[in-house]
Chain A
């Protein structure tokens, strides 16, 4: 077996980074983001990045760190509302932004990873998103409907956060931190994964593996996860 295990984020990214590269980064909001790999990208100083990620982090955390250091040239995202520095750079024309509907973004990544160069979808028909894209009518159960062509996405490197891995790179995600991570794992020319726990080979029930190891090239265990919460909402216990 090829060794997929690396000691830390810096070592796991060694030799993969170059200016102007495209990176996919997992997570929804701050949930399930590869926080160690993002910090290592910041420390590596690689520039002119195109980053494909549903969101852009918050000021000072997650992808917000790479915005502060001006390492990102372009974002492909569905929602970037939580980040003031993002807003400032965008309005100043320092940052390119391509909005994709969230489902279109997820499917473009899934398609890219599956070797599908394009697909037709109803999402965005009649909106700004459809401008300049091929339109095609299909017969459906509810009559003829118009669809638009969207293209698959791949990345030079995908950075992914999973809960647990085994040495073969089989991955298990936890609760809603799964989100974009499994598709991104399939769509990186090289996929680098950080996990909270490495388990011995044979520990996972093969029926329970979310991402098979074929999609994972490099792997390390992250320490001291911060896992920030954006909106801490709670309810009161009813008095006994």
Chain B
């Protein structure tokens, strides 16, 4: 089984040299710590920045310079700033290579639900619907099962969708499931150490090819 850091490191293996990448809030943010040596990626922040740098040193925080999680960050020599309309032109226009985000549910047809639980206060979808609809490749980084033990990779999402048929790869603490194209079935790519196929199947509801 992978730890959260190992899960993030596994996701980082999907980064390719020259990629423009949007990382979601939470575990996906950790991926930035594991960018492989020799791979140069540019991080996009949907509030209007390309070329996101690390957190500032204490005392150097700038309230005019934050990421989409509203955290203080820094710029790099490659950084550009732009409006929200330009930012989402990048995202919706298919100019961003990869988005890594979290999910509450993913279905084996690529549907994703990650913004709303009926009956609970809904905070909003932010940029998630735009990202899953527009970015070239969508990787979901999530725990394999919900707190009640139910599978999060399902035959059908039960929660309101963020996007339909959009997910390309799921990385959990147990395994990597991926498909070569939208519309194709998911296939088992890799098992975490100590996990075998039977264990994975016992904890998974959605269909995948072994």
Residues of A at the B interface (CB closer than 8 Å) are 28-32, 54, 77-82, 87, 90-91, 99, 101-107, 109-110, 121-129, 163, 173-183, 227-237
Q: Say yes or no for B160: interface residue by CB 8 A criterion.
A: yes
Q: Is B72 an interface residue (CB 8 A)?
A: yes
Q: Measured between alpha carbons, how far is A22 from B205 in the docked complex, in Å?
A: 47
Residues of B within 8 A of A (CB): 45-49, 54-58, 60-73, 75, 81-85, 87-88, 91-92, 111, 116, 121-130, 133-134, 160-165
The answer to whether B61 and A234 touch across the interface, beta carbons within 8 angstroms, is: yes
* Interfacial chain A residues near B165, Cβ < 8 Å: 126
Residue of A nearest to B121 (CB): A87
B128 CB contacts on chain A under 8 angstroms = 101
What are some 25 contacts across the A-B interface (CB < 8 A)?
Answer: A28-B47, A28-B48, A28-B66, A29-B47, A79-B123, A79-B125, A79-B126, A80-B124, A101-B128, A102-B84, A103-B134, A106-B84, A123-B92, A123-B133, A124-B129, A127-B164, A129-B129, A176-B48, A176-B66, A177-B64, A178-B82, A179-B47, A229-B72, A230-B66, A237-B57
B90 to chain A: closest residue by CB:
A103
Complex alpha-carbon distance, A180 and B48, angstroms: 9
Contacting residue for B130 out of A81, A104, A181, A236, CB 8 A? A104
| Distance in Å: Cβ of A65 to nearest Cβ of chain B | 18
A125 to B162, CA, bound (A): 9
A102, B46: Cβ atoms closer than 8 Å? yes
User: Given A235-B54, A235-B55, is A176 in contact with B65 using a C-beta cutoff of 8 Å?
Assistant: yes
Majority secondary structure of chain B interface residues (helix, strand, loop or mixed): loop
Chain A residues in 8 Å Cβ range of B54: 235
Bound-complex Cα distance A78 to B60 (A): 29
Q: Which B residues touch A101, using CB under 8 A?
A: 125-130
Cβ of B160 and Cβ of A78 under 8 Å apart?
no
Complex: A66 Cα to B46 Cα, angstroms: 26
Inter-chain contacts of B63 with A (CB < 8 A): 30-31, 177, 227-229
B129 touches A81 (CB 8 A): no
B70 cross-chain contacts in A, Cβ below 8 A = 28-31, 82, 230-231
Given known contacts A91-B121, A127-B162, A182 and B83 CB-to-CB distance under 8 angstroms: yes
Q: Which residues of B contact A227 (CB under 8 A)?
A: 63-64
Q: Is the CB of A102 within 8 A of B92?
A: no
A81 vs B127: C-alpha distance when bound (angstroms): 13
- State whether B133 touches A125 (Cβ < 8 A): yes
Assembled-state Cα–Cα distance A78/B116 (Å) = 13
Complex Cα gap A172–B8 (Å): 38
Question: Please, which residues of chain B bring their CB within 8 A of the CB of A234?
Answer: 55-58, 60-61, 72
A179-B47, A231-B71 are known contacts. Are A99 and B122 too (CB-CB below 8 A)?
A: yes
Q: Is the CB of B64 within 8 A of A176?
A: yes
- Please give me the residue from chain A that is nearest to B182 by CB atom: A142
Closest Cβ of chain B: how far from A36's Cβ, in Å?
15
In the complex, chain A residues whose CB is within 8 Å of the CB of B65: 175-176
Indicate which residue in B72, B88, B164 contacts A125 across the interface (CB closer than 8 Å).
B164
CB <8 Å contact, A231 and B69: yes
Q: Are A106 and B123 in contact, CB atoms less than 8 angstroms apart?
A: no
What CA separation (Å) do A178 and B48 show in the bound complex? 7
Flag if B124 contacts A77 (CB, 8 Å): yes
CB distance from B115 to the nearest CB of A (A): 9
- B127–A128 CB distance below 8 A: no
Closest chain B residue to A227, Cβ basis:
B63
Partner of B126, one of A102, A109, A127, A231: A102
Q: Which residues of B contact A82 (CB under 8 A)?
A: 70
Contact between A99 and B125, CB atoms less than 8 A apart: yes
CA of A179 to CA of B46, assembled, Å:
9
